[in-house]
Amino acid sequence: MATLADVARRAGVSTATVSRIINNSPKPVAEALRERVLAAVAELQFVPNANAQQLARADRTAVGVIVHDVSDPYFAEITRGLQRVATEHGRLVIICNSYREPERELAYVDLLHAHRTAAIVLAGSGYVDPATTEQLERKLRVFEATGGRIAVIGRHEHAGDAIVPENEHGGCLAADALYRLGHTTIGVIAGPGHLTTTTDRLAGVRAAAREHKRRLTARQIEYAGFDRAGGMAATARLLDRNPGLTAIAALNDSMAIGALACLRERGLRVPEDISVIGFDDMPVSVDVTPPLSTVRLPLEDLGVRAMSLVLGTPSDTPRVEHAAASLVLRGTTAQAATAS
Amino acid sequence: MATLADVARRAGVSTATVSRIINNSPKPVAEALRERVLAAVAELQFVPNANAQQLARADRTAVGVIVHDVSDPYFAEITRGLQRVATEHGRLVIICNSYREPERELAYVDLLHAHRTAAIVLAGSGYVDPATTEQLERKLRVFEATGGRIAVIGRHEHAGDAIVPENEHGGCLAADALYRLGHTTIGVIAGPGHLTTTTDRLAGVRAAAREHKRRLTARQIEYAGFDRAGGMAATARLLDRNPGLTAIAALNDSMAIGALACLRERGLRVPEDISVIGFDDMPVSVDVTPPLSTVRLPLEDLGVRAMSLVLGTPSDTPRVEHAAASLVLRGTTAQAATAS
DNA sequence: CCTCCTGAGGTAAGCGCTTTCCTGGAAGGC
DNA sequence: GCCTTCCAGGAAAGCGCTTACCTCAGGAGG
């Protein structure tokens, strides 16, 4: 594998000159030399060793992104936003999937730190468990102490820059919409209980119930994975435990789509027999039938803003930006059948 | 930022010893020393510089993945497979989105080469343009010449390890199914014409038409982006140019979903008025209404196999594995209305 | 009691770059 | 014509690690 020195030897110049040329440094270089060096680079098919460059420069350019799973549309959208901004700034982004496992997430923080990435963006890693949170927190602090930038999407625990979706408000919006449509008791299908995304959204639902003076007991809440399969399973259990249910609030769209599938299997019509509302407004939500009513979160924008925060000028005080949740009523929600 | 030397000083040992301990090398070290060093590591919050390590070791561990767009479910599934295998092997994967732009793809190959990744997996980068292909090819050769491993998903041009989905056969399957249902003329909505995925699948459709002795003229084929919006646009044009069309073959599921949306807008019933068949069998395809008939490709498996190839023992002769396409008939296809 | 072996631990030479500082010659000033 | 200034280009010192090789005890063997 050709090195800088090989190129220098070949072109009959010093390594310093070659380095200056390939990095087109401001230092002027005679045209003749430049051409000779470039020719040598081409002949030897020289590609500079990025590890050596980074070591010598001590600069940090890449940005690490830790998400639960890029193949989940929710994170895919966020990631798209992150990437776009990073690319505009000429930054490489390293994507790491934690698959919702705290240990993997901790390991990735170390790995990104080891690679001296300029920044780390954490999406969706809000854990309820204080031990996990604390460990993560410690690692993040160390990373920051060594000059790394951090932004989190969707959690409060880390006292640093953050983009926080209005999860609680969104949950409130969803439940409120259902109650206003005349549904007196609603079922909730929730994601994993150890994620703050789940607890926050659920808190919103609870608040709405309180406001409408409706009961919301444990029987009406089913937890499962934040995906289609989880949604199907939770819906099945919910239906079994709450006969005659007329409305379901799913804490994300994937689960809502699973709910729709389960309902279809059981021969229940949506929205005539039962209303469903999701959360996130993933792109696919308009293509299911009926099109999913949901709480919209500006997903791609979340990524854009987080990356901008991390690549922009640092702030001495934590910046916490909120991302608005808004109601999008489509085809899966309808007025409750009045007095049967 | 603490360095190895700092730790050594703190623990009162040499850097060699610290290095051995943190990498738990086979060389035996007295227990007392080990503890002292580990304590120093913790106190100084030392995280080894991965760049320096890689430079010194000259080993290559990370694997680069170049896909069009991870947020596209097609690539998301493939990526999931790639990641799973890489993680099992303890490898870091660097995901790069080319957004279907050849130049960006070339730049990424250089970048991954520069970072001395152990391997590069290219997904979906089959370009029809010979100039692009040749440039890419040259870069890949250089990378291989310096010891890098390469696997491509879905193209033939690169004479190396490859996982090739049966795109042509799949196209044939789709069109054949439509013809067998009694549709005499079918419309095709195709992806970008410069991608081999498009041309291969289209070739299959043409073959089926030939076999069934049906005409398939340029008027019946509309090209657009390989996504939902492209599908909508292409369908609109197709319908305008071919009144009375009873069947549409979409060259991927995203386009098919777009077609469904367009058809819905126009008040055409699927499958009563018009049949639609997709390609890929993305997870979401079962959730649209009616559930999408499609040609299934084992997406995640594609990723698993490509990564296995690249992390397994090298072969002196190129290994080309095929991934079977299979027909999945669901709700969007029906018998053509007989003799109106 | 001396030699030789063994093995824990240290020394130092890189890995492939960047960059500061230095050099020597050409150009410019008087 | 000589001295100063300027600037293109080179020498070399790192960047933070790894690792081949060396050292120096202590124990075994004769």
Residue ranges covered by each domain of chain A: 4-57, 63-165+300-324, 167-297
Q: What is the pLDDT of residue A340?
A: 43
CA distance A259 to B182: 36
Distance of alpha carbon A299 from its chain centroid, rounded?
Answer: 8
Chain D nucleotides reached by a protein CB under 7 Å: 7-12, 14-20
Residues counted in chain A? 340
More confident residue, B270 or B71: B270
Share of chain A above pLDDT 90, in %: 79
CB neighbours of residue A29 within 10 Å: 15
A103 half-sphere exposure, CB direction, 13 A CA radius: 0
CA distance A171 to A177: 10
The answer to whether the beta carbon of residue B48 comes closer than 7 angstroms to any atom of strand D is yes
CA of A50, C1' of D8: distance in angstroms: 27
Query: Which residue type is seen at B35?
Result: E
CA distance A237 to A180: 25
CA distance B129 to B135: 10
Residue B338, pLDDT > 60, answer no
The H or E element that residue B117 is part of is: none
Residue pLDDT, tens place only, A109-134? 999 999 999 999 999 777 778 888 89
Cβ of A288 and B286 within 8 Å?
no
- List residues bridging with A150 in a β-sheet: A120
Of B172, B149, B147, B171, which is closest to residue B160 (Cα–Cα)? B149
CATH class of A167-297: alpha beta
Calculate mean pLDDT across residues A149-168.
89
Residue A76, pLDDT > 50, answer yes
Residue A229, pLDDT > 70, answer yes
Of B247, B244, B251, B204, which is closest to residue B226 (Cα–Cα)? B251
Q: Which nucleotide minimizes the distance between its C1' and the CA of B19?
A: D18
Q: What is the pLDDT of residue A336?
A: 83
Alpha-helical runs (H) found in A69-221: 73-88, 102-114, 130-145, 167-180, 196-211
B183 at interface of A, judged by CB pairs closer than 8 A: no
**What contacts B96, CB < 8 A, 6 or more positions away?**
A92, B64, B65, B66, B67, B108, B111, B112
Q: Which CATH superfamily is domain A63-165+300-324 in?
A: Response regulator (3.40.50.2300)
Tell me which residue has tokens 């994967």.
B93
* Inter-residue contact A47 to B113 (CB < 8 Å): yes
Structure tokens at A18: 């070659």
Residue A157, pLDDT > 80, answer no
- List residues bridging with A323 in a β-sheet: A165
Q: What is the pLDDT of residue A23?
A: 94
More confident residue, B21 or A70: B21
Q: What is the pLDDT of residue B289?
A: 82
Residue pLDDT, tens place only, B95-117? 888 888 888 899 999 999 999 99
DSSP letters of A250-276? Answer: ESSHHHHHHHHHHHHHTT--TTTT-EE
The torsion defined by the Cα of B156, B159, B160 and B165, in degrees rounded to 10, comes to 10
Collapse the DSSP code of B247 into the 3-class scheme (helix H, G, I; strand E, B; otherwise coil) and give the result. strand
Instruction: List C-alpha distances in Å: B309 to B119, B138, B161, B163.
Output: 10, 21, 7, 9
The answer to whether the beta carbon of residue A10 comes closer than 7 angstroms to any atom of strand C is no
Q: What is the pLDDT of residue A338?
A: 56
Reported confidence tier of residue B215, pLDDT bands at 50, 70, 90: very high
Cβ of A71 and B70 within 8 Å?
yes
Calculate mean pLDDT across residues A252-258.
96
**What contacts B61, CB < 8 A, 6 or more positions away?**
B54, B90, B91, B92, B118
Q: What is the pLDDT of residue B125?
A: 73
* Inter-residue contact A124 to A73 (CB < 8 Å): no
Calculate mean pLDDT across residues B234-257.
97
Cβ of B70 and A95 within 8 Å?
yes
Of A204, A233, A201, A238, which is closest to residue A218 (Cα–Cα)? A238
For residue A115, the 8-state DSSP code is: T
For residue A61, the 8-state DSSP code is: -
pTM: 0.88
The answer to whether the beta carbon of residue B48 comes closer than 7 angstroms to any atom of strand C is no
CA distance A250 to A258: 9
Instruction: List C-alpha distances in Å: A182 to A186, A335, B217, B300.
Output: 10, 6, 55, 44
Reported confidence tier of residue B340, pLDDT bands at 50, 70, 90: very low
Across B27-36, B37-46, B231-240, B250-259, least confident range: B27-36
Identify the CATH number of the domain defined by range B4-57: 1.10.260.40
Q: What is the pLDDT of residue A339?
A: 41
Q: What is the pLDDT of residue B102?
A: 87
- Cis before residue B271, ω within 30 degrees of 0? yes
Q: Which nucleotide minimizes the distance between its C1' and the CA of A27?
A: D8
Q: How far is B255 from chain A (nearest CA, A)?
A: 12
* Inter-residue contact B4 to B56 (CB < 8 Å): no
Calculate mean pLDDT across residues B247-267.
96
* Inter-residue contact A123 to A72 (CB < 8 Å): no
Q: Mean pLDDT in chain B?
A: 93
- Cis before residue A130, ω within 30 degrees of 0? no
* Inter-residue contact B201 to B279 (CB < 8 Å): yes
Calculate mean pLDDT across residues B258-262.
96
Q: What is the pLDDT of residue B339?
A: 41
Instruction: List C-alpha distances in Å: A156 to A160, A205, A318, B248.
Output: 9, 19, 11, 49
CA of A26, C1' of D7: distance in angstroms: 13
How would you classify the pairing of strands B149-153 and A247-250? unpaired
Calculate mean pLDDT across residues A2-29.
94
Angle at A147 between CA A146 and CA A150, to 5 degrees: 110
Q: What is the pLDDT of residue B187?
A: 97
Q: What is the pLDDT of residue B211?
A: 97
Q: What is the pLDDT of residue A180?
A: 97
- Residues of A with CB below 8 A from B71's CB? 70, 73, 76-77, 79-80
Cβ of A45 and B288 within 8 Å?
no
The reply to whether B63-165+300-325 and B167-296 are identical in fold is: yes
* Inter-residue contact B284 to B126 (CB < 8 Å): no
Cβ of A47 and B114 within 8 Å?
yes
Query: Which residue type is seen at A328?
Result: V
Of A3, A11, A8, which is closest to residue A32 (Cα–Cα)? A11
Residue A250, pLDDT > 90, answer yes
Q: At B67, phi and psi to the nearest 5?
A: -125, 170
Residue B49, pLDDT > 80, answer yes
Of B212, B177, B197, which is closest to residue B251 (Cα–Cα)? B197
Across A126-135, A291-300, B20-29, B160-169, least confident range: A126-135
* Inter-residue contact A126 to A153 (CB < 8 Å): no
Q: At A162, phi and psi to the nearest 5?
A: -155, 150
Identify the CATH number of the domain defined by range B167-296: 3.40.50.2300
Q: Which CATH superfamily is domain B63-165+300-325 in?
A: Response regulator (3.40.50.2300)
**What contacts A118, CB < 8 A, 6 or more positions away?**
A60, A61, A62, A63, A91, A148, A149, A310, A311
Reported confidence tier of residue B160, pLDDT bands at 50, 70, 90: confident
Calculate mean pLDDT across residues B252-271.
95
| Residue of chain A whose alpha carbon sits nearest to that of B68 | A80
Calculate mean pLDDT across residues A308-330.
94
Across A158-162, A238-242, B28-32, B178-182, least confident range: A158-162
Residue A17, pLDDT > 50, answer yes
